[in-house]
Chains A and B, each alone.
Chain A
């Protein structure tokens, strides 16, 4: 067993083709899966390995957790919770702890993650490394704002404590840093207090983009959480028609009598999964148009609905493997954010482009973002963000995605590195003005380029390998 094998040989590994969650990109990697801290250190320090990158639950759509012909260190078994302080809500846990586990353990005690992406199947380390945002970004900022400190195992084998006051450079390079500064072995995160496991939700339809933007700007401050599902196939006068879904954590008095007795006990739904890939023709412009139409029609305005937290935050988690809807070739996601001055114009052009292309996208989300945080490569900035899913149709999709990226760049927008598969180094550098600073810190902390990923090479965050 590992304990006895460890001394004189390579740590156990698996040569494996790893994929992104959306089944679009893949890479052959040397995969490691430490269950002890010392094993992790041995892998990071192993001289036979040319470079490594961490992988959480692999829920990123980009190749940030892949490392072609290099090492990938799975974090999922370094998932121990280390301490919890009830009075402050501060949880210290290892980087491999899943967000869903945090909810399962702490919601019954009245706590909820400060920020959550649209799936509970992410790790804390992975979420920090992409500085993820949730529906509450306009109010609470991204996850990085709620991380009090973290321990970082660096290329030199040292573990450094980082926080906004201690090693702040390294801290803000690590928040959103795509795993390139080292391994986040543990982090302290402040959970928020909630009184119930339910959400009080308002649903408002907007017949077009302007109506949606207006409603956002007029009433968003009433809601901790806000987003809109947007019909990306609607054109003409209905361009950008949306269903705004906004809400707050419900208070006990909001609940119907039946739930009041155990306000924090929300039973998790069982997850059916798609047992196989749908043929790729199943999702086409017509079927998506029909879906979108019925979605829009079946969501009449409603105020104050009480729904369980998981159907509000994680509607997609209700079906395991839903990426199989898109067939074997998978799908891609485009997500960009635009500064408020230009966002209307940019969104219109984008939506026109998408609607014209008739590319199926039944998952399109629009949301207002608050001010940017301090993460050097963090995605969020003040403005509007739009996310669209599109089936992978091969070469022509790549051409189309590059067009969208150019469009984003032309409007001063920024593409989310957790989702991107097409960005060039030049575009990344113009979208992320603090990228040069990031590279400097990276050179200082990891001069040999020990931590590297397929994505980091693709967009020039690290040097490409010598042949």
Chain B
């Protein structure tokens, strides 16, 4: 299964949908996350549904050690060569808790930023060597404007966004595309049960947009598309007025 795509954080939500969307379009996959049992079930699903190769690997973005070994394991599972890497894992955490609990803040930053950087550094080197491939990272509209309700998570996502931007620049001559996906609200475990959310995008829809963005080598893609304009507007609202919105 040489040329497989590695999905980091494939167990549920957007990651699972992206895994299926890529398998549907005939790509082999390495699916990774913490919950190995569930990931193995997903790998079976991909093999049965789409007849592609699929294996599961375990990693924990909260652990400071072992990500290098994990990445090598994935490359090996892919037969020595990855075609691309999609980074889906993330941790929204609790803003409220993070304000008083340093551990929670660290968890949010480590998961969404530090470990993401560590893994994408490895991915960049691997793909650059081959001179072809893609990297796709999921950030969030939460990273476009700091808001009192989620700025710890938002700032980690914003940092990841800047990282991806820089990486895109670095790899632009190397045949490797780097895509940033900025989802609005998506109907996944991350949002399920949160009050006041309406009109969530389905993970399938988001996954389709992600596949197309990867295939076209797009730089930054909002999904659903209208979030680009919502966020543009929110960024333009002056601080003094923004404060009164209490978002």
Contacts and interface: CB of A to CB of B under 8 A. Distances in A.
Question: Do the two shown chains form a genuine complex with each other?
Answer: yes
A84 B16 CA distance: 20
Of B38, B41, B107, B193, most buried by chain A (CB within 10 Å of CB) is B193
Contact of A1 (B44, B49, B189): B189
Contacts of A35: 11-13, 16, 189
Given A36-B35, A105-B49, A82 B41 contact: yes
Contacts of B76: none
Contacts of B193: 12-14
B81 interface: no
A281 B168 CA distance: 59
B13 to A, nearest CB: 7
Given A35-B13, A80-B42, A82-B41, A2 B49 contact: no
Interface in A1-54: 1-4, 12-14, 33, 35-38
Given A1-B189, A12-B193, A33-B192, A81 B44 contact: yes
B42 A1 contact: no
A83 B35 contact: no
A83 B189 contact: no
A33 B13 CA distance: 12
B48 A4 contact: no
B48 A1 contact: no
Interface in B34-68: 34-35, 37-38, 41-42, 44-45, 48-50
Contacts of B42: 80
Contacts of B34: 3
Nearest to A30: B193
Contact of A83 (B38, B48, B93): B48
Contacts of A101: 49
Interface in B182-221: 189-190, 192-193
Contacts of B48: 81-84, 91, 93, 105
B92 interface: yes
A4 B91 contact: yes
A36 B11 contact: yes
A1 B49 CA distance: 28
Nearest to B107: A4
A408 B34 CA distance: 55
A83 B47 CA distance: 8
How many B residues touch the partner, as a band? 20 to 34
Contacts of A14: 192-193
Contacts of A83: 44, 48
Given A36-B38, A81-B49, A1 B192 contact: no
Interface string B82-102: 000000001111000000000
Contact of A37 (B38, B92, B93): B38
A259 B81 CA distance: 39
A202 B189 CA distance: 48
Contact of A80 (B35, B45, B93): B45
A12 B45 contact: no
A12 B192 contact: yes
A157 to B, nearest CB: 17
Contacts of B190: 1
A77 B90 CA distance: 19
A14 B192 CA distance: 7
Nearest to B42: A80
Interface in B1-33: 11-13, 16
Contacts of A12: 189, 192-193
Nearest to A13: B193
Contacts of A3: 34-35
Of B13, B45, B91, B192, most buried by chain A (CB within 10 Å of CB) is B192
B12 A82 contact: no
Contact of A82 (B45, B50, B107): B45
A38 B35 CA distance: 10
A37 B36 CA distance: 12
Of B38, B91, B190, most buried by chain A (CB within 10 Å of CB) is B38
Interface of A: 1-4, 12-14, 33, 35-38, 77, 80-84, 91, 93, 101, 105
Given A1-B189, A3-B34, A35-B11, 19 more contacts: A1-B91, A4-B91, A12-B192, A12-B193, A13-B193, A14-B192, A14-B193, A33-B189, A33-B192, A35-B16, A80-B41, A80-B44, A80-B45, A81-B45, A82-B41, A82-B44, A84-B48, A93-B48, A105-B49
23 contacts: A1-B90, A1-B91, A1-B92, A1-B93, A2-B12, A2-B189, A12-B192, A36-B11, A36-B35, A37-B37, A37-B38, A38-B38, A77-B12, A80-B42, A81-B44, A81-B45, A81-B48, A82-B41, A82-B44, A83-B44, A83-B48, A84-B48, A105-B50
Query: Which 4 A-B pairs rank lowest in CB-CB distance, beginning with the nearest?
Result: A12-B193, A80-B45, A81-B48, A35-B12
